Structures are given as C-alpha cells and as structure tokens.
Amino acid sequence: MKDQNIKSNIQWVAEYLVSWLPKKCHYSGRWFVRRYGVWLGAVMPQVHAKYLCHPTYGKPAYILSKQFFNENERNCNTCQYLQRPGFHRNEYHLSGLMPGICQSIDFDANAHPYYQNNKFFLFPPEDFMGMKCWESREKHKHSHG
C-alpha cells in the first residue's frame, strides 16, 4: 500500500510539473502554459483528434481554420444555397450520400458529380466537391443579420 501511495504521489508531481510547461497552439501558433489550455477538435471531418490550444487565441483561430477549410472544399453541405428535402435516412445510408436541392442561380448541373434532375442531387456530405456556385453560410448569416 505504501509503494502505491508513493507511486501515485510521484505521478501527481510529474503531471503537475508538466502542466506548467509551455506549449504551442495547434491553430494560432501562439505559446501558452499547458495547464491553461483548451481542447479543440480537428477541422477536417472524420478526423477524431483533440488539440491542446491557447485559451484566448485558440478558438478564434480554429473557427477561421474551419472557414478556410470549407472554402477550399466547396462542399454542398456547407453551402448557403443547399435546401434539404425531406427523406428517409435509410434510403441513403449505404452510399453515404445525402439528397439536396440547390437554390443558386449559378448552379452548374454539369459540374455536379451526382446531379439527377430539377436541381435535385445527391452529395457526399464530407468530401471535396469544388463547386463554383458554393457560397459560405457564415458570410450569408453575417450579412443578413
């Protein structure tokens, strides 16, 4: 029992000392003390990682990174023109594709990889699409209140 207490005390001291070490934020690049950091997830979908980040600058840098990622991917799932029709989830679970309707006047059916008809299409919710008609939902939210 005594050895176990000594071992746990040593572990506590080690963790305490490590918590005071400096760490560079994954998103902002700023240095901070580990014990004051915040855990933030990955920007990319299906990446199950957590990063210890700066308590003040980490979250805004994460949000900006996410916006840049979405602008690069230009996926229908993050576009302001996407309208989601009602559907039964089991209809699409095997392919992983989701149904959508594009409300953009610039919609290019020839450029869309899964276009069907009448601006109705299937899309992969987390893959690169590079659609030219894509516009950020975030910009739309901020410009319209």
What percentage of the chain reaches a pLDDT higher than 70? 88
- Higher pLDDT: 25 or 1? It is 25
Give the separation between CA 52 and CA 31, rounded to whole angstroms: 11
- Mean pLDDT for the stretch of residues 21-26: 94
Q: Decide: pTM greater than 0.75.
A: no
> What one-character-per-residue DSSP string does 37-50 give?
-EEEE-SSTT---E
DSSP letter, residue 136: B
Give the distance from CA 51 to its chain's centroid: 13
Alpha helices by DSSP H, listed for 40-119, are: 58-73
Q: Domain segments of the chain: what residues?
A: 22-73, 76-143
What percentage of the chain reaches a pLDDT higher than 90? 37
pLDDT of residue 92: 62
